[in-house]
Amino acid sequence: MKLTADWIFTDTVQRLFAAFEQSGHQLLFVGGCVRNALMDRAVADLDMSTSATPDDVIGLCKRERLKFIPTGLDHGTITVMIGRQSFEITSFRKDVETHGRRAVVAFSKDINDDAMRRDFTMNALYADGAGQIIDPLNGLDDLQARKVRFIANAQDRIREDYLRILRYFRFHAWYADQDEGMDPEAMAAIAQNVDGLSLISKERIGAEMRKILSAPDPLRTVAAMEHSGVLNQILPGSSARGLGPLTHLESTVSSEPDWQRRLIVLGGEDHAKHLRLSNVETKRIAAFHTASDRGLGAAATAYYFGAETALDVALIMAASLETPPAHGVLDDIAKGTQAQFPVRASDLPNTLVGKDIGDTLKRLEQAWVASGFALSKDALLADV
């Protein structure tokens, strides 16, 4: 099988392959770019693997006058820059020692060593400069079946790096056939190694959860995370129960998948702490809870808290009750977002001073919002 993607046959890419070939080294595309091209999905990063050692790569770059950055020299990764395009080139490696997140590696000339230290069979696919697929571990069959499967022994792969537990679920959400069940060996190994996630930084866990919840329909994946104990390990008290209804409701209002809204519907304790959310993300969750506690309609919520929070409240509350959102909710949110309170402090009688001005404005604004933004300026001032 061959790839025919345009990015393989650019002058820049072919120049790079020619330079390595002339130096007697093998250079291959690997991982995500090959996988996504075979699945006809967008390709972002062009990662490459080579039989050359890092010193060989640096020497080659100097001879060819190519700009390079030793971004991960200890792990064999050199970033090569040609014009505005960058390529992460990593030497073939094999693991010498693993510690649940870090590994001591040795460089190798054997592509099989390099393939065996990767996580999933669909990530151990390579392509040469002509687009020819090299498949040392028969990952192509799994990719075509849309089956996410650990390489060799799932227990070993997970204990080499416990983050692979969450990567498994992320790959399942994005690439697996959702009508097929989870790989039994993978799920058994995950259930036995859940505690290993405590060794992973909260930032890395948060990054994986963002990606999982951004998938078009992550319900089955997250439900499997809950069943295996992973979800409660990383987000205590959470549940996948409301995720299915929310995902459906998002489609009914033409809303793009929103990972943070989906995170809110999972519930659980202190998202910011367990997933190391940013200040902006934390404020959004706080706004949702404050707005939902107020119990206002969609228009009023949009007026006080903004359109994003109003939609969060409408969809999450409907999902929790497993009912459709109120009829015309998007129109109500638009109405509340556009509404402008017609009374200013300068419109009030001069007899009002200090705190009385603020209290009066607040009372009039509440009456105006309660009227559905219908009361006119004159009608409001008549009540002062």
Tell me the HSE value of 150 on the side-chain side, using a 13 A CA sphere: 26
Distance CA 339, CA 333 (A): 10
Q: Domain segments of the chain: what residues?
A: 1-145, 342-381
Place 157 in a pLDDT band, splitting at 50, 70 and 90: very high
Exposed/middle/buried for residue 8 (C-beta within 10 Å: 0-12, 13-18, 19+): buried
Distance CA 231, CA 266 (A): 10
pLDDT: which is higher, 98 or 253: 253
Residue 261 vs residues 158, 171, 202, 236, 239: alpha-carbon distances, Å: 30, 21, 19, 18, 14
pLDDT value of residue 352: 82
Residue 100 in this model has a pLDDT that exceeds 90: no
- Which of 263, 174, 266 shows the shortest CA–CA distance to 216? 174
> Which CATH superfamily is 1-145 part of?
Beta Polymerase, domain 2 (3.30.460.10)
Mean pLDDT of 24-52: 94
pLDDT value of residue 255: 75
Distance CA 189, CA 157 (A): 9
pLDDT value of residue 98: 61
Q: ∠ CA 228-232-237 to the nearest 5 degrees?
A: 140
pLDDT value of residue 97: 65
Residue 82 vs residues 11, 64, 157: alpha-carbon distances, Å: 10, 11, 35
pLDDT value of residue 228: 96
Q: ∠ CA 97-98-104 to the nearest 5 degrees?
A: 50
pTM, full prediction: 0.89
Exposed/middle/buried for residue 278 (C-beta within 10 Å: 0-12, 13-18, 19+): exposed
Place 73 in a pLDDT band, splitting at 50, 70 and 90: confident
**Which H/E stretch holds residue 353?**
none
Distance CA 260, CA 210 (A): 8
pLDDT value of residue 162: 96
Q: Which residues contact 44 (CB under 8 A, 6 or more apart)?
A: 32, 33
Place 101 in a pLDDT band, splitting at 50, 70 and 90: low
